[in-house]
Amino acid sequence: MALKTFHGGVHPPEFKKLTETLIFEVMPAPQEIYIPLNQHLGKEAIASVKKGDSVSIGSILAEADGFISAPIHSPVCGTVTSISKQTTPTGFPQQTIVIKTNEQLENLFMSPLNPKTITPEEIIERVKNAGIVGQGGAAFPTYIKLTPPKDKQIEFVILNGCECEPYLTRDYRFMIERPEAVIEGLTLFLKAMGVVKGYIGIEDNKPEAIKIITRAAENENNIEVFSLKTKYPQGAEKMLVKAITGREVPPGKLPLEVGTVIQNIGTAVAVYDAVVKGEPAVTAALTVTGKGVKNPKNLLVPVGTPIKDVLDYCGGINGDAVKLIVGGPMMGVAQFDLMAPILKATSGILVLTREEVSRGEETACLKCGQCIDVCPLNLMPTKLVRYTQLGRFEDAGLFGITVCMECGTCAYTCPANIPLVQWLRLGKQRVKQIQRQQAGLQN
């Protein structure tokens, strides 16, 4: 039987062997941590502590500001030393709570709840109060995904176990080490939303995870595990919906338009821990890898730990390391400051050597059409980039540049080494800005 998949995509080398067999290690808190007030999609949280305040593990540092926002809790015991602008992995400075840690381990977690008797309202409230955000990259506050608009009928919740980015093995380790938490987390999502059917999609390059998760779900009649073809970007929401349900998410729309909500494996585990242990989002699970790091690891790290401390914990970097990326190699963000902190949704740190990042010189477009063939959204990257370069933003908008998910598939395949994603990102920002101005909104 053909494996389920989607149109387009590429097959980059996986490089997962570096860390796939390494169990999660718990990294101790560093001397100082940096907690940006905006670690989620939406409005920045409002600090509820000030310089000189003492904090404990799990105590509130910042309250959510409005509907699309999330509270922030302290991952450590210590003293607030400043609230000031600091570098973040996005590249932009942000208001950040700086805490000097101490040796204490007092924790102010919420009271545990019974996952069997908890009500849907209690699940949503707990997820909201725990400040959980999606672990798939966008860091969208999870409780909002659990409360879709009343006119949208949700039929399926899909857990994304693809982890299609090369190098990263965080979700894989969760599936291997905590399969019950994965299944219970999905069950909590289903209960919170009143949805009957849950699916878990896992790429077929992870047979051990498929076996373990299938076994963990064998008594759950409403949960089905799918083995999906290994292809980048199989884990993108629209690709996952198409592969598992056969439904097409319309351009510019969300999966809920076709009755589906996607959650990440790491998010399911975080929700389970918030319910069963009362634990807010104070720990980031991530893979530290690449040939440029001395001892690659899968780590559980206090949120706010500087990248430098994480790398030191992994033995430091090798002499031929030339590039540092937060996230995966396809969609991650290159870093220039080792003091940028780990955020709630940070999935990995890659330290790459010259050999790993080798890239030829950029040349003129060869008009080969390969970028068009591989784009999973059937866009024409070469045309969109040309319009952006010429400042023809109206045409770029007409040809769907705002739909682009910046997956990097086109850039990966381009024989002319044109930085297509950077151009697409630029074009998207400009087109959206123009659209907002035309709609009478600022910026």
Site residues (CB under 6 A) for ligand SF4? Answer: 365-371, 375, 377, 379, 381-382, 404-410, 414-416, 418, 421, 424
**Separation in Å, CA 427 to CA 37, 76, 129, 343, 410:** 28, 41, 37, 27, 15
Instruction: Calculate the CA dihedral of residues 95, 75, 326, 340 and round it to 10 degrees.
Output: 40
| Smaller CB separation from ligand SF4, 137 or 306 | 137
Q: Closer to ligand SF4 at the Cβ: 30 or 381?
A: 381
User: What's CA 327's distance to the chain center, in Å?
Assistant: 8
Partner residues linked to 46 by β-bridges: 63
Give bridge partners of residue 197 from the DSSP assignment.
156
Listed residue (298, 327, 424, 400) closest to 90, CA to CA: 327
Tokens of 82: 């400043």
Nearer to ligand SF4, 110 or 405 (CB): 405
Least distance CB 399 / ligand SF4 (angstroms): 10
Least distance in angstroms from the C-beta of 407 to ligand SF4: 4
CB nearer ligand SF4, residue 156 or residue 412: 412
**C-beta of 274: minimal distance to ligand SF4 in Å?**
33
Q: Please report how close the Cβ of residue 324 comes to ligand SF4 at its closest, in angstroms.
A: 22
Length of the chain: 443
CB atoms within 10 A of CB 81: 14
Give me the least distance between CB of 138 and ligand SF4, in Å please: 15
Between 318 and 417, name the residue whose CB sits nearer to ligand SF4: 417
Shortest Cβ 366–ligand SF4 spacing (Å): 4
295-320 burial, b at 16+ Cβ within 10 Å, e below that, comes to: ebbbbebbbbbbbebbbebbeebeee
For 135, 201, 221, 224, 302, the CA distances from 218, given in Å and listed in that order, are: 25, 15, 7, 9, 34
Taking the least distance from each CB to ligand SF4, the nearer of 28 and 369 is 369
Pairwise CA distance, residues 340 & 93, whole Å: 9
We find the least distance from the C-beta atom of residue 251 to ligand SF4, in angstroms, to be 11
Q: Which residue, 200 or 374, has its beta carbon nearer to ligand SF4?
A: 374
SS3 call for 289: strand
Q: What is the DSSP letter of 354?
A: H
- Separation of alpha carbons 254 and 248, rounded Å: 10
Q: d(Cα 25, Cα 28) in Å, to the nearest integer?
A: 10
Would you call the peptide bond into 255 cis, given omega within 30 degrees of 0 as the criterion? no
Cβ proximity to ligand SF4, 333 vs 368, nearer residue: 368
Q: Which residues pair with 317 in a beta bridge?
A: 293
Look up residue 395 and give its two tokens. Answer: 């045409």
Least distance in angstroms from the C-beta of 418 to ligand SF4: 5
Q: Both tokens of residue 101?
A: 């840690």
Looking at beta carbons only, is 146 or 377 nearer to ligand SF4?
Answer: 377
Residue 386 C-beta: closest distance to ligand SF4, Å: 9
Which residue's entry shows tokens 């039987």?
1
